[in-house]
């Protein structure tokens, strides 16, 4: 019987993230969390002789959230340009998971053509001891897996 070696789990603290904006690579060392989800769009398929409705995949959509410490104006500046000119901006988001204590190696995923849904224009909180952060919702149009985890050792 195979068992999971606890050392092979991946620590979220060892990740890295990069935004490729207008041809420039920005390391998101101020990122706290990123999570992206792919949701299948399914069409109803009524079938004669069955009382249930079947489903068939008819496409997909990608969305996510990027939470960062509130300490960069890069995205705010691009949003301001969108507001002033109507020129929207898209970027790729590269996420690397690599824990040196794990034998599964690393995984690198690139989310393609990310587009922010909303963002904070300005913020402060004089009542909190926590550092300021902001969560930016986004959509994406494609993704690639550049590096894949190895199979866990048994």
Q: What is the pLDDT of residues 58-103, one digit of tens each?
A: 999 999 999 999 999 999 999 999 999 999 999 999 999 999 999 9
The pair of structure tokens assigned to 84 is: 């002033």
pTM for this predicted structure: 0.91
Paired with 19 in beta bridges are 26, 93
CB-count burial class (<10 Å; 0-12, 13-18, 19+) for 82: middle
Tens of pLDDT, residue by residue over 110-151, are 999 999 999 999 999 999 999 999 999 999 999 999 999 998
Higher-pLDDT residue of 59 and 22 is 59
User: In this structure, is residue 114 part of a structural domain?
Assistant: yes
Look up residue 127 and give its DSSP letter: T
User: Residue 83: inside a domain, yes or no?
Assistant: yes
The stretches of the chain forming alpha helices (DSSP H) are 74-85
Query: What integer pLDDT is reported at residue 153 of this predicted model?
Result: 75
Which domain does 140 fall in, by range?
6-45+54-147
pLDDT tens-digit profile of 122-132? 999 999 999 99
3-state secondary structure of 76: helix
Tell which residue, 85, 95, 107, has the closest CA to residue 140: 95
Kindly report the CATH number assigned to the domain that includes residue 99: 2.30.110.40
Domain count across the chain: 1
Phi–psi pair at 153, nearest 5 degrees: -70, 145
């Amino acid at each position: 019987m195979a068992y999971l070696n606890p050392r092979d789990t991946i620590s979220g603290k060892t990740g890295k993230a990069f935004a490729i904006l207008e041809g420039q690579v920005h390391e998101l060392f101020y990122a706290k969390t990123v999570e992206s989800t792919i949701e299948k769009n399914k069409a109803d398929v009524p079938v004669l002789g069955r009382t249930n409705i079947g489903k068939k995949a008819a496409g997909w959509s990608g969305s996510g959230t990027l939470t960062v410490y509130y300490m960069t104006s890069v995205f705010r500046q691009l949003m301001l340009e969108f507001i002033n000119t109507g020129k929207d901006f898209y970027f790729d988001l590269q996420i690397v998971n690599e824990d040196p204590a794990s034998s599964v190696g690393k995984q690198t995923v690139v989310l393609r053509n990310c587009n922010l849904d909303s963002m904070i224009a300005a913020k402060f909180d004089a009542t909190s001891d926590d550092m300021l952060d902001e969560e930016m919702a986004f959509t994406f149009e494609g993704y690639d897996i550049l590096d894949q985890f190895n199979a866990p050792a048994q």
